[in-house]
Amino acid sequence: MVCPELSQHHNTPMAKSSSRNKSSVWPSDGCVFLGGALSALLLVWGFWSFVAPIPSDNPNFESVATKSKSLKGPAKVSDCPAATNGPDLRHDSPERTFYDDPETSYTMEKPVKNWDEKRKEWLLHHPSFAAGAQERVLVVTGSQPSPCRNPIGDHLLLRFFKNKVDYCRIHGYDIFYNDALLHPKMFAYWAKYPVVRSAMMAHPEAEWIWWVDSDAMFTDMEFKLPLQRYKNHNLIVHGWARLIHENKSWTGLNAGVFLIRNCQWSLDFMEVWASMGPQTPEYDKWGKTLRSIFKDKIFPESDDQTGLAYLIAVEKDKYADKIYLEGEYYFEGYWEEIVGTLENITEQYNKIEKGTPALRRRHAEKVSESYGEMREPYLKEAGNGRWSWRRPFITHFTGCQPCSGKHNQMYSADTCWNGMQRALNFADNQVLRKYGYVHSDLLDDSVMPIPFDYPASA
């Protein structure tokens, strides 16, 4: 079963993909991504810590809203005029929906059927949510329920979460942070799937669920997902088709950050994907199967990343068509190749702004997206990904394990923690600037007020 194509608006100018490329809960310490043999060693350390469009070929949400106006109660008179746009957060239809069905279950053990139709019906009864539904995104993240063993782990996770909240506020996304183990047997990197499944059911108004590991951060606060690019796909992950199909490498993708459409296809796919997890009697068998196919996988347990690579490579006729491997920008980037470039990136962006008064104009945070669009023409020569001086979209600290502190021994603890501080302050500068301050040094948490016409006046 597949989800029908949607008609969405392209939010951020980007280079078009040269090919379709159809082809990480305790996320921070559990999901890993690197390319090549060196990354395999890194990934082993990282692992041990701990999709529904409205089923119509051309959905018209405004039409849905119009048809359902009669479902809302009479207008109320007040001293201040009520908002005439946006979701009505104080209205829940008295009509029965899937929520009223006692057979509906949030758990992984009981599949959900006819989800597309159920979602559509819910939107019909809640018409204020229909407008913009195609582009509505819910960011989901989380961490372990117990305190971190690393003395600074909880502080780091708080800063990582603040970063995600900042990004969501700027772009108008909702965010859900989970610190409960929803399935007692689905631990480590498998723990996120019950959370994502429950988030779909709790948010039928959201077209996309965007999982972001707790040790991944947004380092370009202006960049917005190019959803139009993914209109024919239901699952987007960072990866490269050649590494999966030809090299049979488990490092050909990363499951620590993924975008999944809220639809029946996604529920069915996650059911198959999760069937490789530790809650099933086939767990050991799947570990052997995955290792036999992906020769560079050097630990025996079945993991979600290799499981996804298996479904793309071996079950490609069933699934690969609806999975987009995004390799043209840092949908999820390896921190060690990024943190050393942050000062140069800052200099390059400041150079652009010094020559472009409109970009350095003071403005309200709520209109930040427009400045991101304005900046794009000046970034044509910046490139994307490695060796680019464009801000990396997402930086992922795989192998550092901020909560457990059991970082990969290829680098020191200071390398991890200092790298996190630099990346966090780099992202924070993009936020604080709207409030009149910046960190003058990425390794210094103190801030300074910025003068008018900054950075030209700096």
Quote the pTM value.
0.82
Please state, in angstroms and rounded to a whole number, the distance separating the CA atoms of residues 384 and 328. Answer: 6
Q: What is the pLDDT of residue 353?
A: 96
**Residue 3 — very low, low, confident or very high, per pLDDT cuts 50/70/90?**
low
Greater confidence, 31 or 137? 137
**Residue 78 — very low, low, confident or very high, per pLDDT cuts 50/70/90?**
very low
Span 166-215, pLDDT tens digits: 999 999 999 999 998 889 888 778 889 999 999 999 999 999 999 999 99
Mean pLDDT over residues 422-426, rounded? 98
Q: What is the pLDDT of residue 298?
A: 85
**Does the pLDDT at position 358 exceed 70?**
yes
- Average pLDDT over the chain reads 84
How many percent of the chain have pLDDT more than 70?
81
Q: What is the pLDDT of residue 51?
A: 35
**Does the pLDDT at position 442 exceed 70?**
yes
**Does the pLDDT at position 163 exceed 80?**
yes
Span 100-119, pLDDT tens digits: 999 999 988 889 999 999 99
Write out the H or E segment, with its range, that includes residue 369. helix 368-375
Q: Minimal CA–CA distance to 187: which of 50, 386, 340?
A: 50
**Residue 131 — very low, low, confident or very high, per pLDDT cuts 50/70/90?**
confident
Mean pLDDT over residues 31-40, rounded? 40
- Whether omega for the bond prior to residue 455 falls within 30 degrees of 0, making it cis, is yes
Beta strands in 124-278 (DSSP E): 137-142, 174-178, 208-212, 216-218, 235-239, 253-261
Mean pLDDT over residues 356-382, rounded? 95
- The CATH code of the domain at 37-68+99-333 is 3.90.550.10
Mean pLDDT over residues 255-263, rounded? 97
- Residue 414 is encoded by which pair of tokens? 């200071």
User: Are the C-beta atoms of residues 400 and 334 closer than 8 Å to each other?
Assistant: no
Q: Is 323 helix (H, G, I), strand (E, B) or coil?
A: strand
Greater confidence, 276 or 5? 276
Please state, in angstroms and rounded to a whole number, the distance separating the CA atoms of residues 252 and 242. Answer: 8
**Does the pLDDT at position 367 exceed 70?**
yes
Sorted by where each begins, the domain ranges of the chain are: 37-68+99-333, 335-449
Pairing of strands 137-142, 174-178: parallel
Mean pLDDT over residues 302-317, rounded? 94
Q: Largest Cα–Cα distance of the chain, in whole Å?
A: 70
Greater confidence, 10 or 243? 243
**Residue 385 — very low, low, confident or very high, per pLDDT cuts 50/70/90?**
confident
Mean pLDDT over residues 34-56, rounded? 41
**Does the pLDDT at position 73 exceed 90?**
no
**Does the pLDDT at position 37 exceed 50?**
no
Dihedral sign for Cα atoms in the order 68, 70, 71, 74: positive
- Residue 300 is encoded by which pair of tokens? 């025996």
Q: What is the pLDDT of residue 376?
A: 94
Span 260-302, pLDDT tens digits: 999 999 999 999 999 999 899 999 999 999 999 999 998 899 9
Q: Minimal CA–CA distance to 259: which of 209, 225, 322?
A: 209
Q: What is the pLDDT of residue 181?
A: 86
Mean pLDDT over residues 22-48, rounded? 41
